[in-house]
Amino acid sequence: MALKDILKIKRPEPKQDGSPDLKKPVGKKKMIITVIAVLVVLLIGVRISGAVRSAAEQKAAEQNRQNYVPVEAITLQKQSISSAITLSGKVEADKEASIYVTTPGKVTAVHAKVGDQVSKGQVLFSLDKSDLMASYNQAAAAYQLAQGAYRTNMANYENNKKNYENMKQLYEIGAVSKSELDQVAVLASDAVLETYQGQLAQAKAAYDAAQKALNDMDVKAPIGGVLTALDVKVGAMVSNAVSPARVVDLSKVFVTVSISEQEINNVHGGQSVEIVVPSASVKVKGVIDSLSVAANAQGKYTLKAYIENKDSVIKPGMFANLTLSIAGKNNVLVVPTEAVIFHGGKDVVYVAKDNAAVEIEVSTGLESGTETEIISGLAEGDIVITKGQNFVQDGSEIKVISLDGQEVQQETNDTAASAQTGGGAQE
């Protein structure tokens, strides 16, 4: 029944007395249900028609797709390559000093805290000086007296020297006896001078010792750097048997690693190395400072490399990875390591020729981790596939979409669209 025929169905007429005919409600309900059913059928038909059309378009697109693998490639050229090894070790400070007190005592003041950047000679904490002040004052007084006595003795000594010269002249004319001359000679002798000088020096040494002991009660940093330990509190006793503080100079640090006997002769002092400290997110250049000439108990040799650390972000105790070159070659064929695939029990490389992948067996040499030397199998100028090589085989149809890092312009819009939609390829 058509929609227009449904709409033409007459509604039930009211009775002559004006009231509707209540005996036929079923006919009205049937009409509504029929209208709804027709609308549902029409909607389903529209959707089915759209799906059929979409499937037809998709099938047509599938038939027009080109079945090739998009790849990236490089033009093979000769260059240099070096083989490198990576060793791990711990970072150590170039300079560090543990601080001890010379005289046990009670802490009266603390002038720094852990983490502070301190300079050489800076006071870190102070000890009670009251017990040493008496000794210092006594030594200072004794030294002052010794200085006065020395001046007096030296004046007498100079007079005795003059008297001796005069007595010599009198002795020559017989005016004085030999014994009189000898008595004056003793007073003007070098031995007397040395005695006076020794007395003064002894008093000064005692004073210097007392002054040093007093000064040492102010405990100072022996080197400049970062205060990494300070285990003191005001009122606490500090012993001279245990170090209560430590200062580390972080401006320059070094890494010590172990190297095998097979590699020790391939490295040398002054050689540049690359050092990575993962925990500090640091990657820097370093220099080999020293190499041991004898193996340790584990049969390893020790290599030390220094790192400039002006920002102090590298801390002692951190682990570091040290990478250094142990062999190198110039003017050789080199490909990215990922371009070499082990297939069928041999190393192969895929080369692009006439829109096809050609499998070529190769012999490899040095490896740097990211690059591999090709000894045989390839020639300079070959187009080596570096991306997509895992999805091709010998004879696969390919399309080079990038060569030497530059995008290759596609010939037609259809080809470009096919490459973008996959074209049967996998990335």
Give the pLDDT mean for 376-396.
95
For residue 404, the 8-state DSSP code is: T
pLDDT in tens, 82-99: 888 889 999 999 899 999
Judge whether residue 322 has pLDDT over 80.
yes
pLDDT at 412: 43
Give the largest CA-CA distance in the chain.
Answer: 191
Question: In which element (H, E) is residue 39 found?
Answer: helix 25-64
Structure tokens at 344: 């069928």
pLDDT over 70 for what percent of the chain?
Answer: 85
pLDDT at 45: 67
Average pLDDT, the chain: 84
Which residue spans within 245-388 are E strands per DSSP?
A: 245-259, 272-277, 282-291, 301-308, 319-336, 341-343, 346-353, 356-361, 363-367, 371-376, 383-387
Judge whether residue 108 has pLDDT over 70.
yes
Give the pLDDT mean for 39-66.
65
Nearest by Cα to 128 from 222, 238, 230: 238
Question: How far are the Cα atoms of 256, 342, 385, 388 from residue 345, in angstroms, in the given order?
Answer: 40, 6, 20, 20
pLDDT at 28: 66
| Cα dihedral value 355, 358, 362, 366, nearest 10 | 30
Give the pLDDT mean for 24-30.
60
Q: What is the distance between the alpha carbons of residues 48 and 374, in angstroms, rounded to a whole number? A: 60
Judge whether residue 346 has pLDDT over 90.
yes
Judge whether residue 216 has pLDDT over 90.
yes
Least confident of 23-27, 103-107, 125-129: 23-27
pLDDT at 417: 37
pLDDT at 26: 53
Where do we find the tokens 């002798």? 189
Question: In which element (H, E) is residue 193 found?
Answer: helix 190-215
pLDDT at 416: 37
pLDDT in tens, 126-178: 999 998 998 999 999 999 999 999 999 899 888 888 888 888 888 888 888 88
Q: How far is CA 120 from the centre of its chain?
A: 28
pLDDT at 419: 39
Q: How far is CA 400 from the centre of its chain?
A: 39
Confidence of residue 75 (pLDDT cuts 50, 70, 90): very high
Judge whether residue 427 has pLDDT over 60.
no
Structure tokens at 355: 């829109």
Residue 85: how many CA atoms within 13 Å on its side-chain side?
13
pLDDT in tens, 235-291: 999 999 999 999 999 888 999 999 988 888 888 888 889 999 999 999 988 889 999
Task: Compute the C-alpha angle 149/151/157, nearest 5°.
Answer: 100
Least confident of 20-24, 49-53, 334-338, 382-386: 20-24
Confidence of residue 362 (pLDDT cuts 50, 70, 90): very high
Give the pLDDT mean for 365-369.
81
Structure tokens at 240: 């001279």
Judge whether residue 58 has pLDDT over 50.
yes
Judge whether residue 352 has pLDDT over 90.
yes
Confidence of residue 420 (pLDDT cuts 50, 70, 90): very low
Q: What is the distance between the alpha carbons of residues 149 and 203, in angstroms, rounded to a whole number? A: 11
- Is residue 267 helix, strand or coil? coil
pLDDT at 299: 87
End-to-end CA distance of the chain, in Å?
57
pLDDT greater at residue 266 or residue 372: 372
Least confident of 47-51, 310-314, 318-322: 47-51
The pTM (predicted TM-score) of the whole model is 0.51
Backbone region of residue 82 per phi and psi (left: phi > 0; alpha: psi in -120 to 50; beta: other values): beta
Nearest by Cα to 295 from 254, 255, 263: 263
Where do we find the tokens 């990335």? 427
pLDDT over 90 for what percent of the chain?
Answer: 51
Contacts (Cβ under 8 Å, ≥6 apart) of 387:
71, 72, 73, 402
